[in-house]
Amino acid sequence: MLKERKILVVGHKNPDTDSICSAIAYAEFKNRTGSGVYEPRRAGEINAETKYVLDRFGVPVPEYLGDVGAQVCDMEIRRTPGIAKETTVQKAWDVMDQAEAVTQPVTEDGKVIGLITKGDIAQTLMYSNDKHFLSGAKPHYRDIAETIGGRVVIGDPEARFTEGKVLVGAAATERMQEAIEPHDLVILVDRPGNQLAALDKGADCLILCLGVRADADVVAKAYAQGAVIIETDLDTYSVSVAINKSVPLESFMLTDNIMTFKTDDFTDKVRAVMAETRHRAFPVVDDEDNYIGTVSRRNLLGIHKKELILVDHNEQSQAVDNIDQAEVLEIIDHHRIGTLQTLQPIYFVNQPVGCTATILYQMFVDRSIEIRPVTAGLMCAAIISDTLMFRSPTCTTRDKMAAGALALIADINIEDFATEMFEAGSDLADRSAEDVFYQDYKKFTFGGKSFGVGQISSMSADELAVIKDRMLPLLENECGKNGVSMVFFLLTNIRQSSSEIIFAGDNAEDLITMSFKEAVPTDGGYRIDGLLSRKKQLIPAFMRGISMI
């Protein structure tokens, strides 16, 4: 069964109520009209106002999405099984052949404890001409028997061959006895005299080839001495060639400095590691370090980019990190055309209304899709928030009509609900100055200058005065961060339809006075009557003013 596409719907950084609620509403719209699975996301912490709205309608906070750079989970992970450290070289090679893999993780209780490659196996066997190579690896007798297609007929199959050398007992009895030492493993054929002689010299294991069966005397002697007898249909040459393939992986696998990747690791890290490491494939583990599969350099070529729909913004500086590594499928916005670029034409809706949710409302209506009360409540809240309860100059008749229709569906009184929402949004009881500053903060670049603008709205002049006292010391610290040379903060009084601007940075004050001739000086800032909208009033005025500085 093919896995359904997952498309993420996300707003801008430092999300406001419109950014969050429109992401949720549009994901629902797409799930009811399109193919694939659409999931809402947030590009930052939600503010108190948005939290109130989500709690009010019983909607969970969307999952955080801070970076859309390619990750290991976007690569094709080879689901090759891990193998145990006791696995023989022969079995490991067969597993790797079947999986068409050249690197094999060794696991224990689901965790990666070792790593081998076909190259490691080949190199190990190339240098296995030492007669003590096999005992040095300490294989189980059952594994020796299985590797040479035989069976243990006398002795403990679980015991290990830990001492002595391997030799073929093909010489005359007397000469053969001169070569055998205690604990040796001797490969023999149908010469009972040689078999008994080997046991007399203290051999720990006899391998009888060509289908030979041990006679009663040999069996009795082996049993008495605790020796092992293995019988196989292979000839002595074939046994001699194959026997070293019975060594367990634990005897030579890589165990130190094993590099693993987690599924949420970004591919920039993967590329850097792969460039410095000789392995062609690397284990992938989950958050609990359980083995999942492997990725290789070849998998980097077939990365599946994250697919996104952007709402309430089209500025690269406001988008999630590494937006250029993702595939943007759609943009639904009501701001000016910004700096985002796409590799191919996309579905782009940009309308001069006060809120993204107003556009979404019309989409539901045009497709004759019934809007659920919860969704209607979220969309109505977004319009109230973005238009400052219809006081903002960005507000249009369409916004008012949409909000009215949505309020009826959600069964809410707009004025009462707006008052509760704005009061929740400006509640500073448990919030730091940084939280307040960044709850609705955006960065803009124009004319070679970058500046940041934050905004908070309240129905209470006293509350705004408290916020102002907390913001003034913070602005100086924020200036200069992330390439921003000027910082502004709008304290918007919804009831009085005015804003006070406080500021920091070289030329910041000049920009205010050049952009707004009607600005009235205050203690630490400027009051501008009628200024409510950052998007429609402040930013266009600042862009005109920048050219004059």
Per-residue pLDDT of the chain (549 residues; tens, 9 = 90+): 445 679 999 999 989 999 999 999 999 999 999 888 999 999 999 988 999 999 999 999 999 999 998 888 888 888 888 999 999 999 999 999 888 888 899 999 999 999 998 888 888 888 777 889 999 999 999 999 999 999 999 999 999 999 999 999 888 888 888 999 999 999 999 888 999 999 999 999 999 999 999 999 999 999 999 999 999 999 999 999 999 999 999 988 988 888 899 988 888 888 888 878 767 789 999 989 999 999 888 877 777 889 999 999 999 989 999 998 899 999 999 998 988 888 899 999 999 999 999 999 999 999 999 999 999 999 999 999 999 899 888 899 999 999 999 999 999 999 999 989 988 887 665 678 888 888 788 888 887 888 999 998 887 888 889 889 888 888 888 887 878 889 999 999 988 889 999 999 988 999 999 999 999 999 989 999 999 988 889 999 999 888 776
**How high is the pLDDT of residue 345?**
93
Which spans in 34-85 are helix H? 48-56
Burial environment of residue 431 by CB neighbours within 10 A (0 to 12, 13 to 18, 19 or more): middle
Domains and CATH numbers, the chain: 6-69+306-425 (3.90.1640.10), 74-123+251-302 (3.10.580.10), 129-246 (3.40.1390.20), 433-546 (3.10.310.20)
At residue 473, the 3 state secondary structure works out as helix
**How high is the pLDDT of residue 549?**
67
**How high is the pLDDT of residue 2?**
43
C-alpha distances out from residue 288 to 41, 82, 111, 260, 387, Å: 24, 16, 9, 12, 46
Q: How far apart are CA 348 and CA 481, in angstroms?
A: 32
3-state helix, strand, coil split of the chain in percent (to 5) is: 40, 25, 35
DSSP tally for the chain: helices H, then strands E: 19, 22
Spatial CA neighbour of 253 closest among 102, 398, 115:
115
C-alpha distances out from residue 91 to 6, 69, 78, 117, 453, Å: 39, 39, 19, 13, 64
Q: How far apart are CA 390 and CA 72, in angstroms?
A: 46
At residue 281, the 3 state secondary structure works out as strand
Q: How far apart are CA 411 and CA 514, in angstroms?
A: 46
